[in-house]
Structure 1
């Protein structure tokens, strides 16, 4: 960034208006990206693809992402024995506000559903109209904590019957957005899920740029 401003500083005074406008646009873009925050809540047995792909995509878009263990362990063992070393523990983030809370699926959803601390974070997130994103079996976490009842959602097909009474279930879309809630279906849809979060959290242009870098062709 310093190189950019060094070059811009060489523009003649007669073009100072152009200089100011370029600086304003550049700074606004940097501010927009830097201001966005996310937390991914990680439990033992989480589906690692859903966590890692989503976190990676958001970080590519300039979002500040914290991966937080919901236990007292810093390294969390996921569903395929992949260990993820987290940035924080849930007690470290209780008083922090994030633009989006991300819930990976896998069998770890049961631990997320059973955690009062997770419930408190989600209820605060919903009360303040901030985003929640859940993938695979994680919409069951929303149900367990009484979050977003009646909204449109999707999930991993095997947990559909757990959700159809409390939500408006969508079968045919791999990502479903309803207000500040984003849901998706499973490991293979994690790319679409992450890009949908970026589009809503940052903007569509940022999502397109990340998709191009990933060679992801299906972004509408």
Structure 2
């Protein structure tokens, strides 16, 4: 199993790194990919993170799930035509995509949420074009191949959902218990 997480300046630190950490703890091969011109990407909280790869260095065909963290930098996703095309192609093939916080708005804007249930950070609902929007108390929504989550406080939930989808519910429960997230 392989996850590809896209990073851009202004990404939400916890949303990105909690999900990446949980996937790696579960044994999922997880790559971080900069969509900027620099592997050193600066989070919205001014924390530098060194990405594993540049966009053009990865073969997205090998990825089982593409992940978009949120944060104010999410707007950069819309400016990256290669990324948008990769998301559309991944969706067309029925492969998994996950987004959190403001990032589900990108999926909505490119038409990937039509007829699906989804969630996002409050205030971004208007960008989930064609989706049935679910908000609090819902923390994570998976509808078909698309998984969305509300924000920083639901990052662990999203990571565990990805583990459940790519490995098993048992592995997700085991990981939740071993990290003291759940008994």
TM-score range, shorter chain: over 0.9
Report 1:136-215 matches (<5 A): 136-163=101-128, 165-172=129-136, 173-215=138-180
Q: Deviations over 1:27-63 (max 9, x none)?
A: xxxxxxxxx0000011110001000000000001100
- Indicate the structure (1 or 2) with the bigger Cα radius of gyration: 1
CA separation in 2, counterparts of 1:162 and 1:37?
28
- What is the CA–CA distance in structure 1 between the aligned matches of 2:36 and 2:151, rounded to whole Å? 24
How many residues matched?
182
Equivalents in 2 of 1:147, 1:118: separation in Å? 14
- Aligned-pair RMSD on alpha carbons? 1.3
Name 2:34's counterpart in structure 1.
69
Secondary structure at the counterpart of residue 158 of structure 1: coil
More helix by share: 1
Unaligned ranges ≥5, structure 1 = 1-35
Q: Pick 1 or 2: higher relative contact order, CA cutoff 8 A, min separation 6.
A: 2
1:83 to 48, 71, 74: 48
Q: TM-score, normalised by structure 1?
A: 0.79
Q: Is 1:122 matched up with 2:87? A: yes
Match of 2:5 in 1: 40
TM-score (norm 2): 0.95
